[in-house]
Amino acid sequence: MKHIFVSLCLVLFVMTGCKKEKSEGTDSMATTSAENKDQMAENIYQYQVTDLYGESFDFSNLKGKKVMVVNTASECGLTPQYEDLQKLYDSYKDKNFVIVGFPANNFGGQEPGSDAQIASFCKENYGVTFPMMSKISVKGGDMHEVYHFLTEKEKNGLQDSEVAWNFQKYLLNEQGELVMVVEPRTLPTDPSIVNWIETN
């Protein structure tokens, strides 16, 4: 009887240890899964920038809206796209869609002006009313952090890209996640963009 009792005690001890080990392993897996989820959750809402008028612009205020981010220039062959951008904004601004413009002087020195000059140019020539940010760099060593997010798969979870020229468009869904990169020559009113805006 004594031997049987000792054997039973050993079995119970081993089983208890296994359960504990399994529980600890499960907890570890749950923690890792949560960490991965946090890493995957990066979106544009974490960024705050400054607009053309020196005011703070918080991307988190755009939650629930589809967003187009576009780098602009005042002296480019594609500058007339401002007109199409404004038409698109006028058509869908009340339907949870917004355009955010970032003037940049990275291509051919085609955006040489100050923020005040850019604001005046946009208003006087194209009647721009969508949000326009302070001039930044969209490539190279001084690339703005928003464009690191837009162009690096490690951050945006979709793809690596490089801004090819002025008026490249980045489309983000209602959760602030990058879903599409549109090359510069594609007009803002292209059916592929309009269909994306209209699709729930």
Residue 37 sits in the same domain as residue 52: no
Q: Which of 9, 18, 76, 122 is catalytic?
A: 76
Residue 135, pLDDT > 50, answer yes
3 residue type, one letter: H
Residue 70 sits in the same domain as residue 101: yes
Average pLDDT of span 1-30? 46
Would you state the structure tokens that stand for residue 61, as one six-digit string?
């205020």
Residue 70, pLDDT > 60, answer yes
CATH number of the domain within which 117 lies: 3.40.30.10
Whether residue 122 contacts residue 92, with contact meaning beta carbons closer than 8 Å, is answered with no
pLDDT, tens digit, 9 for 90 and up, residues 16-59 = 454 444 444 444 444 444 444 445 658 999 999 999 999 999 99
Residue 26 sits in the same domain as residue 61: no
How many domains are there within the chain? 2
Minimal CA–CA distance to 118: which of 102, 106, 142?
Answer: 102
Report field, pTM of the whole predicted structure over 0.85: no
16 residue type, one letter: T
Residue 37 sits in the same domain as residue 97: no
Residue 9 sits in the same domain as residue 87: no
Residue 27 sits in the same domain as residue 65: no
Residue 73 sits in the same domain as residue 20: no
Residue 108 sits in the same domain as residue 78: yes
Whether residue 190 contacts residue 88, with contact meaning beta carbons closer than 8 Å, is answered with no
Q: Note the pLDDT of residue 48.
A: 98
Residue 56 sits in the same domain as residue 141: yes
Q: How far apart are CA 38 and CA 27, in angstroms?
A: 17
69-88 in b/e form (b: 16+ CB < 10 A) is: bbbbbbebebbebbbbbbeb
Residue 160 sits in the same domain as residue 174: yes
Residue 82 sits in the same domain as residue 146: yes
Better pLDDT: 27 or 132: 132
Would you state the structure tokens that stand for residue 88, as one six-digit string?
């698109």
Contacts of 198 (CB under 8 A, 6+ apart): none
Q: Which structural domain, as residue segments, surrounds residue 66?
A: 46-198
- Residue showing tokens 């050993």: 10
pLDDT, tens digit, 9 for 90 and up, residues 141-166 = 999 999 999 999 999 999 999 999 99
Residue 82 sits in the same domain as residue 122: yes
Q: Examine the residue annotation and report whether 122 is marked as an active-site residue of this protein.
A: no
